[in-house]
Amino acid sequence: MPTVEVPIEKWTGKIHEVRLGGNSRKSVVVGGETSLPFLHFEGSLPHRPLIAIEVQDSEPRGWSPHLVAAWGDVLHDPGAWAKKAVEFGADIIALRLRSAHPEEGNTGAKEAKRATDKVLSAVDLPVIILGPEVAEKDNEVLVAASEVARGQRVALGNCLEKNHRTIAAACIADGHVAIAKTPIEINLAKQLNILLCDVGLSPDSILMDPTTGALGYGLEYTFSVMERLRLSALGGDAMTAMPMICTVGEESWRQKESKVSEGVPPSWGAHEERAIIWEEITASMLLNAGADIVVLRHPKTAALVKATIDKLMGS
């Protein structure tokens, strides 16, 4: 039989490499790909995608009882929670300053500094610090957290168009990485990256959060936008070539399929298994769309997704 030659796409672009951690903290690098996700025959994938496990600065309200049971009595202490996340295989700790939200606790800079210090002191993994997603409060608490973490190269989010100057300035001053978050749209993502570079932030200090849809809730659209961002980057557009981060756990666990335990058809399956699968499938799909970091909530999901990454990377 004649030999069949596999067509190889020749890309001109490369995803920027972004480092988190360093100094006394463990260091990781994401990005650097020269092909679409997991096409090892076509290009280089020098760094495997990483799993961040979410930790909150106060005991979460409204969480699934299965999530609460999985974490037990550490939910009231972000430092202890972070230590347990390390035991469950986290590559990165994602500290969410949820208590700063005006409808949660409306805490401020002092509390943000305390929570950040607790997590940084408890573990030596790289750290992501996420605000409450209210721009004014994000400015307050992320700048405070940035000061505490100076020199430890954490990632600060979310950096939006309306507050990008403030977050970028903190990143430049303290040596951190900005998480540029935009609605699911390729041109908006590119524009925010341009704005951040225009104020002096280096491309290797930017992660993109294109906004994540969960399984059944816009996942296909999210996938297509992330794929277009990656195709644009590999085609040579440096302003779409930042590594991508997806907050999978937050999106997956707020959907009814993960939350509802009673009055559902038997075909939906057992509640805990269904919820974990919802998070796992969402994460797996977004990894195949180009996610370099997925932020998860359930320890079992972290183990399942890590095994998936091992297989996709040929480990």
**103-107, 149-153, 214-218, 256-260 — which is least confidently predicted?**
256-260
- Please tell me the predicted confidence (pLDDT) of residue 315: 63
Angstrom distance (rounded) from CA 135 to CA 105: 16
Match domain 43-261+269-312 to its CATH number in 3.40.630.10, 3.90.700.10, 3.20.20.20, 3.40.30.10: 3.20.20.20
Q: For residue 223, what are the contacts with CB-CB under 8 A and spacing of at least 6?
A: 285, 286, 288, 289
In this predicted structure, the answer to whether residue 1 has a pLDDT above a threshold of 70 is no
pLDDT, tens digit, for every residue of 261-273? Answer: 776 778 788 899 9
Left, alpha or beta for 53 (phi > 0: left; psi -120 to 50: alpha)?
Answer: beta
| Residue located via tokens 């925010």 | 192
- Which is more confidently placed, 1 or 174? 174
Q: How confident is the model at residue 232 (pLDDT cuts 50, 70, 90)?
A: very high
Question: Which uninterrupted H or E stretch holds 111?
Answer: helix 109-122
Q: What is the pTM assigned to this prediction?
A: 0.96
Domain edges within the chain: 43-261+269-312
Per-position b or e across 292-307, b if 16+ CB within 10 A of its CB: bbbbbbbbbbbbbbbe
Mean of per-residue pLDDT scores for the chain:
95
154-176: average pLDDT: 97
